[in-house]
Amino acid sequence: MMQFGIPCSADAEFERWWRADGEWVEAPNVRRGGNSGVQRVTDASGRCLYVKRQTGHLYRTVRHPFGRPTVLREATALQALSALDIPVPVLDYCGARRDTGQWAAVLVTRALDGHQSLDRWYAEPRDEALRKTVLDELARLLARMHRAHWQHGCLYAKHIFVRERPQAELPNVALLDLEKARLRLSASRASKHDLAQLSRHRAPMPDQDWRTFLASYEAAHRKLGMRP
């Protein structure tokens, strides 16, 4: 048994989450030579949690040429970005074990209550001032992430979540699906990859809002004392 991230109780804890039952929000699908699925589960205290279960779902690096469960990389990213004060789901549990030569892994995160994905948020009419406020907040957190050399790796509108708050407070913007997140050698590489990806997968964000976001992103970089 291998554990990562937060304290957990060996096999009993792993088995509990491996066998947890709930509504499928991402049905098991075969990817990268393994399978992965996500269920929505309610715990004893009534909290909504998301349980990602994977079998043989690996990534490979020079350090791990034979493969390592992708949820371990995601757990690392969740903890790193949280330490940078970038809103991400709270990690409750992550564990992996290898039985008869095959990896099985579990990642448990708390739901982002009151949030909706950016593509769904755009489905409703929003005034220009509110859209700019949300885009400014997104630009600030992405600039902070890239400054630390972190690349999201799957920066689509559906993986950016928004929660509106009272007028006196800024909206909350959070990032999800960090399975492909990784450190890059430079902030510039992380930035170029993520912005190019978001540009391709930003629908239904209109072109004018994209230009507004880019201007805010450049301003955030200047404030941090670095070039985008």
Say which DSSP state 87 is in: -
Give the pLDDT band (50/70/90) at residue 32: low
Q: Who has greater pLDDT, 26 or 154?
A: 154
Q: What angle do CA 153, 171, 93 make, to 5 degrees?
A: 50
Please report the pLDDT score of residue 36 as a whole number: 86
Say how far apart CA 38 and CA 22 lie, in whole Å: 9
Longest dimension (CA), the chain: 57
Please report the pLDDT score of residue 2 as a whole number: 38
Q: Which residues are paired to 183 by β-bridges?
A: 150
207: left (phi over 0), alpha (psi -120 to 50) or beta: alpha
47: amino acid identity, one letter: R
- Span 192-220, mean pLDDT? 97
Chain mean pLDDT for the chain: 88
Please report the pLDDT score of residue 144 as a whole number: 96
**178 pLDDT more than 50:** yes
Interval 110-159: pLDDT, tens? 999 889 999 999 999 999 999 999 999 999 999 999 999 999 999 999 99
What is the value of pTM for the model shown? 0.88
Rounded to 10 degrees, the C-alpha dihedral 199/201/205/206 comes to: 60
Please report the pLDDT score of residue 226 as a whole number: 61
Q: In this structure, are residues 171 and 160 in contact, taking their beta carbons and an 8 Å threshold?
A: no
Sign of the CA dihedral 37, 204, 130, 153?
Answer: positive
Q: In this structure, are residues 21 and 112 in contact, taking their beta carbons and an 8 Å threshold?
A: no
Please report the pLDDT score of residue 190 as a whole number: 96
**62 pLDDT more than 90:** no
Q: Provide Rg for the chain, Cα atoms.
A: 18
Please report the pLDDT score of residue 6 as a whole number: 41
56: amino acid identity, one letter: G
- Within 13 Å and on the Cβ side, how many CA atoms surround 110? 13
